[in-house]
Amino acid sequence: MRTLRAMRSRIRAAKNIQQITRAMKLVSAARLRRAQDRVLAARPYAQRMDEIMRELGHAGDLPDHPLLQRREVRHVGFVIITSDRGLCGAYNMNLIRALQTAIREQNLTQEQVCLVCVGKRGYQFFAKRGYTIALYRPMPTAGAGLEDARAVTSAISELFQTEQVDRVYLVYAHFVNPVTQRPTVQQVLPIEPPVGDEDGTREFIFEPPAEELLERLLPRYLLTQVLQALLEASASEHGARMTAMSMASDNAGKMIQELTLVMNRLRQAAITKEIAEVVGGAEALKG
């Protein structure tokens, strides 16, 4: 009987866990729909900005601008975008590994790396290991927005223009679909106009002149890249959490089935034993 009580207790615990994971899956699915709408709506604007930068690059040599300045790389900045909360599978660790791989591939020491962390998970990991962190911002549950992008853009622009870092990368998860998020390491500073096929390029006459246009366009182009990365990361996080909670719910269901089967066998064994004892007692009385 003690074993049966323990089995019933385990089944109740598994059912409670399943209820929680199902609820979290539904919440993540609702948030994912909103985040997915935002990221898909923003992509055409980001693509159009890429096209304009490509046309400017084909128009001739770009004039000098602080955000275009190339120099010997001594220090590198990374903006890593993770989540504040867990229960999203390997989402955060995949991003942390992508950053560690980028540091290793560039033969950088810890002293040469400066981080901007969006999301508590990445911040806690690298702060605990003694990395220099120039800025930390939490990842809002509803998803990062324009104010978050402006704060990050301002921080990395200042780091780059004051020569505290000589190159800056974004490390984030590119949203492919709810079950696929691709860790991405993307250089954003110095700004390098996208490369395209010159044969199909249309000829533009720029007004105002290129220098004045770049003065307005480059900060906005950088802001667009940061905002797009934040939106992609938000959708990726909710997709990863929804997938993880779906798998957890399925696993809890399988566990409940297995435990119920074991409990039924124990109950059947107990009943059989009691019947055998009754029959044995009756036979003894007859004898």
In a domain, residue 269? The reply is: no
In a domain, residue 171? The reply is: yes
In a domain, residue 13? The reply is: no
- Per-residue pLDDT, 266: 85
In a domain, residue 249? The reply is: no
Looking at 32, 88, 114, 135, which residue is catalytic?
Answer: 88
In a domain, residue 254? The reply is: no
Q: Provide the Cα torsion 81, 85, 87, 89; round to 10°.
A: 10
Who's near 159: CB < 8 A, 6+ residues apart? 77, 114, 116, 134, 165, 168
Q: Are 77 and 115 in contact (CB under 8 A)?
A: yes
Query: Percent helix, strand, coil in the chain (nearest 5)?
Result: 65, 15, 25
In a domain, residue 157? The reply is: yes
In a domain, residue 200? The reply is: yes
CA 80, CA 100: separation in Å to the nearest integer?
11
Neighbours of 221 (CB within 10 A): 20
Q: What is the pLDDT along the chain (287 residues), one digit of tens a residue?
A: 568 888 889 999 999 999 999 999 999 999 999 999 999 999 999 988 888 887 776 666 666 788 888 999 999 999 999 999 999 999 999 999 999 999 999 999 999 999 999 999 999 999 999 999 999 999 987 778 899 999 999 999 999 999 999 999 999 999 999 999 999 999 999 988 776 555 555 566 666 766 777 788 899 999 999 999 999 999 999 999 999 999 999 999 999 999 999 889 888 888 888 888 787 777 777 76
- Per-residue pLDDT, 201: 53
Whole domain around residue 209: which residue ranges?
Answer: 25-244
Q: In terms of DSSP H, where are the helices of 129-175? A: 146-161
Number of domains in the chain: 1
Long-range contacts of residues 22-26, Cβ cutoff 8 Å, at least 24 apart: 22/245, 22/249, 24/87, 24/241, 24/245, 25/242, 25/245, 25/246, 25/249
Instruction: Retrieve residue 242's tokens.
Output: 């929804």
- Per-residue pLDDT, 196: 57
Phi first, then psi, for residue 131 (nearest 5°) are -75, 150
- Per-residue pLDDT, 5: 86
Q: Are 29 and 242 in contact (CB under 8 A)?
A: yes
Check which CATH number belongs to the domain holding 229 and give it.
Answer: 3.40.1380.10
114 is known as an active-site residue: no
Model pTM score: 0.86
Residue 78 pairs with which residues in a beta bridge? 115, 169
